[in-house]
Amino acid sequence: MHLFVGLGNPGPQYARHRHNVGFMAVDAIARRWRAPGWRRKFHGECSEVELEGERVLLLKPLTFMNESGRSVAEAMRFYRLAPARLVVFHDELDLAPGKVRVKHGGGTAGHNGLRSIAACLGTTDFVRVRIGIGHPGDRDRVVSWVLSDFARTDQLWLEPLLAAIAEAAPRLARGDASGFMNAVTLALRQRAAGAASGASRPGGQTD
């Protein structure tokens, strides 16, 4: 089994925040692969799903971002999972909006959710899917930036990105990080090409 964790803060007031894009990614995976309803366990919401033959537990910690590790560690202990079986989806200030990178191990780059997980597990030897939200350009604006809703125009890249992540998720469950990245990139390029083709038609209409 793999454990796919989306990071965010619980509650409707946080649902569309940039900081909650990890929750959004796991929700997209659940929808695409028709996961059963969420249930409360491990201080979070979880659902078990099969991704092309790979068994995966989806988890959204409800402990708030700064204590995400408590939820993750409890699930890891219950299923006796090695850290390498953990994949964490989270927001990344140092990536442009709409960019995605996969990283295995290394530092937490000041991300409180990752820091909590590393502290509770005693290691950083897990996989992170870094979802770019961009930087506001001023360190004093970072907190308000991550704790504010995505702009309406962000939906133009956010929804296609989440759909591409969900579609390619089985590759992560097989440990194929490069294959996952290639699949996401290809899906976004195809969508962009389709949008450009539609815009070039008379009246900008699409089929």
- Provide the annotated active-site residues: 19
Backbone angles phi, psi at 126, to 5 degrees: -140, 165
The C-alpha angle 82, 85, 89, rounded to 5 degrees, equals 130
Report the candidate in 141, 136, 188 with the shortest Cα–Cα distance to residue 162: 188
Helix locations, the chain, DSSP H: 21-32, 68-79, 112-121, 142-146, 155-173, 177-199
In angstroms, rounded to a whole number, what is the distance separating the alpha carbons of residues 139 and 168? 33
